[in-house]
């Protein structure tokens, strides 16, 4: 009950445009630097180098939400293309994650598709894999429509499916040939579309992971839940799933010991590295997921 209230509170804060605008002026505060790489791409590259030296690969996410004008969306598109070009000059293995609302999805779907088409063309030229993050349910159908069109130009594009959605398994089967990141889901969704009970979501998540792994298509298992990770490892061992058809993914700053254990066991581990000025919404969603994450914020406050 208390967890539900805290979750709703932080998710509410995460969607406040005004707070995000203030946060841009403050710079990384409240301990956000534990989980956000910094404000610039150079900061992200420094983090990527350090992770690489620990056997980890990366996904860059240039943070940005609350885009209300075509100019802002075009700016975000250019920033994504610049990120791809920069990644291409680095010897490190780095993917790119994007959010369609940052690229104008709430303004006009065709305009967003055009922006994504430009990003995907740059990604194809430089052979950088692009993953479209999944946002709240309002944008779900549009995201899948855009994905389908983009995959006709470049197969190195995938997306995310959220196990809390009741119809996620049906969609997983339709996307059986698409490289997918599977997650439990980070937003607050209605009971009509999303399971609310943790045990049901966990079970659905595990079934989705094993279903996609059996297809032999690339599967990113994005979770900090050691119980799910242990079950997946038992499954892949028992079913001789080749280790180059999946990877574990973690958010930057979360469970570094578990990341290292997996690397030492020979599994591929990729770290999602967010950077940029728009850190506030991302930081609030992480606090919503796990009340214990508030310790980041408390430590951050005490340091000031």
Residues that bind ligand FAD (CB under 6 A): 133-134, 160, 162, 183-187, 222-225, 249-251, 254-255, 272, 289-290
State in angstroms the smallest separation of the CB of 258 from ligand FAD.
8
Active site residue 118: no
Q: Which of 147, 190, 183 is nearest to 168 (CA)?
A: 183
- Alpha-carbon distance 172 to 156, whole Å? 17
Q: Which one, 115 or 223, has the nearer CB to ligand FAD? A: 223
Shortest Å, Cβ 226 to ligand FAD: 6
Three-class secondary structure of residue 109 per DSSP: helix
Comparing CA positions, the residue from 19, 16, 45 lying closest to residue 30 is: 19
Diameter of the chain measured on Cα atoms:
52
How far is it, in rounded angstroms, from Cα 150 to Cα 159?
A: 11
Contacts of residues 42-50 at CB distance under 8 Å and 24 or more positions apart, as own/partner, are: 43/275, 44/273, 44/275, 45/86, 45/90, 45/92, 47/252, 47/273, 47/275, 48/90, 48/92, 48/94, 48/273, 49/92
Residue 21 or 195: the one with the smaller Cβ distance to ligand FAD is 195
Decide: 182 and 205 in contact? Cβ < 8 Å: yes
Question: Does the active-site annotation cover 151?
Answer: no
- Of the candidates 151, 181, 270, 285, the residue annotated as catalytic is 181
C-beta of 249: minimal distance to ligand FAD in Å? 4
Q: Which is nearer to ligand FAD, 60 or 250 (CB)?
A: 250
Least distance (Å) between residue 25 CB and ligand FAD: 27
Cβ nearer to ligand FAD, comparing 24 with 57: 57
Among 249, 173, 253, smallest CA distance to 214 is for 173
Specify whether the CB–CB gap between 130 and 120 falls below 8 A: yes
Please report how close the Cβ of residue 62 comes to ligand FAD at its closest, in angstroms. Answer: 14
Measured from the CB atom, the residue of 113 and 247 that comes closer to ligand FAD is: 247
Catalytic residue annotation? 133, 181
């Amino acid at each position: 009950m208390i967890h539900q209230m805290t979750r709703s509170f932080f998710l509410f804060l995460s969607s406040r445009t005004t707070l995000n605008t203030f946060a841009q002026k403050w710079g990384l505060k409240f301990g956000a630097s534990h989980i956000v790489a910094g404000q610039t791409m150079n900061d992200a590259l420094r983090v990527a180098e350090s992770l690489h030296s620990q056997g980890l690969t990366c996904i860059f996410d240039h943070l940005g939400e609350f885009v209300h004008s075509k100019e802002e969306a075009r700016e975000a598109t250019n920033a994504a293309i610049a990120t791809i070009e920069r990644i291409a000059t680095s010897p490190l293995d780095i993917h790119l994650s994007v959010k369609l609302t940052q690229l104008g999805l709430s303004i006009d779907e065709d305009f967003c598709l055009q922006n994504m088409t430009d990003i995907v063309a740059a990604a194809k030229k430089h052979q950088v894999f692009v993953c479209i993050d999944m946002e709240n349910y309002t944008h779900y159908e549009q995201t899948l429509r855009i994905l389908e069109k983009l995959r006709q130009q470049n197969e190195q594009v995938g997306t995310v499916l959220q196990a809390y959605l009741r119809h996620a398994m049906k969609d997983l089967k339709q996307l059986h040939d698409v490289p997918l990141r599977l997650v439990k889901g980070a937003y607050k969704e209605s009971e009509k579309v999303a399971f609310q009970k943790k045990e049901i979501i966990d079970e659905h998540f595990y079934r989705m992971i094993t279903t996609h792994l059996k297809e032999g298509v690339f599967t990113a298992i994005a979770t900090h839940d050691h119980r799910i990770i242990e079950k997946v490892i038992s499954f892949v061992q028992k079913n001789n799933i080749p280790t180059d058809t999946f990877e574990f993914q973690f958010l930057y700053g979360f469970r570094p010991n578990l990341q290292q254990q997996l690397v030492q066991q020979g599994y591929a581990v990729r770290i999602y590295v967010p950077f940029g000025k728009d850190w506030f919404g991302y930081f609030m969603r992480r606090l919503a997921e796990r009340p214990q994450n508030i310790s980041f914020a408390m430590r951050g406050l005490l340091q000031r």
